[in-house]
Amino acid sequence: MDDINERRRGHWMSYSARPVSENHILELLNVAVWAPNDGMREPWRFIFIGSDNTNMLSNLQDQAPAYLILVIKEDQDPHKREEDYAAASCLMQNFRLLAQDRMLHVRMTMNDWIYDRACTRRFGVHDGERIVAVLEMGYGGQSIEPVKVEDTPDLTFELL
């Protein structure tokens, strides 16, 4: 259980100079896409920014060897739109767990710029789409101790 709590809280890590290959990310995504999605719509697509182009995000994100932008279609039906967002979140968690197994550190971010249409267009996000998150990725360099949280989460559990 401590391992799960440590994993959930995460920790800050400096990255090594080792590049993150597009092929490695594609391998992980081919497994991660088996996320639950009603109707098998697969509403997502991915924008990979490798080490040659990371300067595109220099004023928007923390420095990382590579980035993966997770984009979903904005369905007109609010119910489907929520299902699609939930499915993309499951996919992202699948990806993070798979990456961790391969010693690839993934940090999920949702910075303010992802809501700015003019800014997102620079990265190829189309009308009718939105960014779910930007994943900062890299192999570990020198790691820093996990953040310790003293309090136990206050959970509410009710039986009906």
Domain 21-143 annotated CATH 3.90.650.10: no
What are the φ/ψ torsions at residue 145 (nearest 5 degrees)? -55, 145
The CA distance from 68 to 24, in Å, is 12
Work out the pLDDT band at 149, boundaries 50, 70, 90.
Answer: low
Quick one: which H or E segment has residue 139?
Answer: strand 129-143
Tell me which residue of 84, 65, 67, 69 sits closest to 139, measured CA to CA: 65
Looking at residue 6, what is its pLDDT? 42
pLDDT > 90? residue 78: yes
Looking at residue 155, what is its pLDDT? 82
| pLDDT: which is higher, 152 or 67 | 67
Instruction: Tell me what the pLDDT averaged over the chain comes to.
Output: 86
pLDDT > 50? residue 54: yes
Percent of the chain residues past pLDDT 70, beyond the cut: 86
Give yes or no for a contact between 93 and 34, defined as CB atoms under 8 angstroms apart: no
Work out the pLDDT band at 76, boundaries 50, 70, 90.
Answer: very high
